[in-house]
């Protein structure tokens, strides 16, 4: 899972949004600079992104979605909440490490790196939400077609 989330957040090496030092820190390079013995933060943030997106998706489609809330506006609000929550989670995790100096001090980490990682997480959470929404709409169309 570590490599999957690392490749995902690093955009498969095509679009580095944050520094290589931040990537190594998020992979779990420990504060003693001796190896990958620290927490694999990619994995924790990745699973948090999947869980937050799925829970808000489920709430939006199964519990909250009703005639009181217009569909597109309601979907946009849910997407906005997903992006903001996932941005904040991904920003906070490395930012706390920077503030407490609990990383290899040979690395040059900055708040800009935290923002880049948070943007990457927010974009992937939005894409996951779009995919889940598309699957739900296709499922709804198939069920409605069977009824007629």
pLDDT digit string, tens, across residues 34-92: 999 988 999 999 999 999 999 999 988 776 555 555 567 788 889 999 999 999 999 99
Q: Rounded to an integer, what distance in angstroms lies between the CA atom of residue 130 and that of residue 78?
A: 11
Q: Give dist(CA 10, CA 32) in Å, integer.
A: 24
In this predicted structure, the answer to whether residue 148 has a pLDDT above a threshold of 80 is no
Phi, psi values for residue 15, rounded to 5°: -140, 80
> What's the pLDDT at 15?
82
Q: Which positions ≥6 away from 70 have C-beta within 8 Å?
A: none
Per-residue pLDDT, 113: 97
The pLDDT, as a whole number, for residue 26 is 95
- Is the pTM higher than 0.75? The answer reads yes
In the chain, the N- to C-terminal Cα span, in Å, equals 43
Q: How confident is the model over 120-144, as pLDDT tens digits?
A: 999 999 999 999 999 988 988 888 8
Q: What is the pLDDT of residue 92?
A: 97
CA 137, CA 131: separation in Å to the nearest integer?
10
Strands (E), the chain: none
Contact 60, 101 (CB under 8 A): no
The predicted pLDDT at position 75 comes to 87
């Amino acid at each position: 899972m570590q490599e999957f989330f690392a490749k995902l957040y690093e955009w498969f090496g095509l679009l580095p949004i944050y520094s290589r030092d931040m990537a190594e820190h998020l992979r779990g390079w420990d504060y003693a600079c001796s190896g990958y013995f620290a927490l694999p933060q990619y994995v924790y943030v990745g699973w948090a992104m999947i869980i937050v997106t799925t829970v808000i998706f489920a709430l939006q489609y199964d519990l909250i979605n009703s005639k009181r809330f217009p569909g597109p506006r309601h979907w946009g609000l849910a997407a906005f909440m997903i992006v903001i929550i996932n941005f904040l989670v991904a920003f906070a995790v490395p930012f706390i490490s920077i503030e407490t100096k609990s990383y290899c001090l040979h690395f040059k980490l900055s708040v800009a790196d935290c923002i880049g990682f948070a943007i990457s997480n927010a974009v992937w959470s939005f894409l996951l939400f779009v995919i889940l929404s598309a699957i739900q709409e296709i499922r709804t169309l198939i069920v409605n077609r069977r009824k007629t």
